[in-house]
Structure 1
Amino acid sequence: MWVPVATGRRGLTVAIAAAAAGLALAMAALRWRRRPVREVLFFPSQPSCTEALLAEAAGPGAPVQPCPCPLPRSDCSLSRLLRRLLSARRSLDICLFAFSCPQLGLAVRLLHRRGVRVRVVTDAQYMALRGSQIGLLRLAGIQVRHDQGHGYMHHKFAIVDRRMLITGSLNWTTQAIQTNRENVLVVEDAEYVKLYLDEFERIWEEYSPTNNSSLSQEQ
Structure 2
Amino acid sequence: MKRCLMLDVDGVIVNGRPEDGRSWATDIERDLGVAPDRLQAVFFAPHWADIVTGRKNLLDVLEACLPALSPTVTAQAFIDYWFERDSCVDEALLAECDELRRRGLRIFLATNQEHMRARHLMDRLALGKHVDGMVYSAQVAAQKPQRAFFDAAAMSSGSSPEDIVLVDDTKANVEAALEAGWQAIHWSKGSSLLDILENRQVGQASSRHGG
Please say whether Structure 1 and Structure 2 have the same fold, judged by a TM-score greater than 0.5. no
Q: Could you say which structure has the larger radius of gyration?
A: 1
More helix by share: 2
Structure 1 length-normalised TM: 0.28
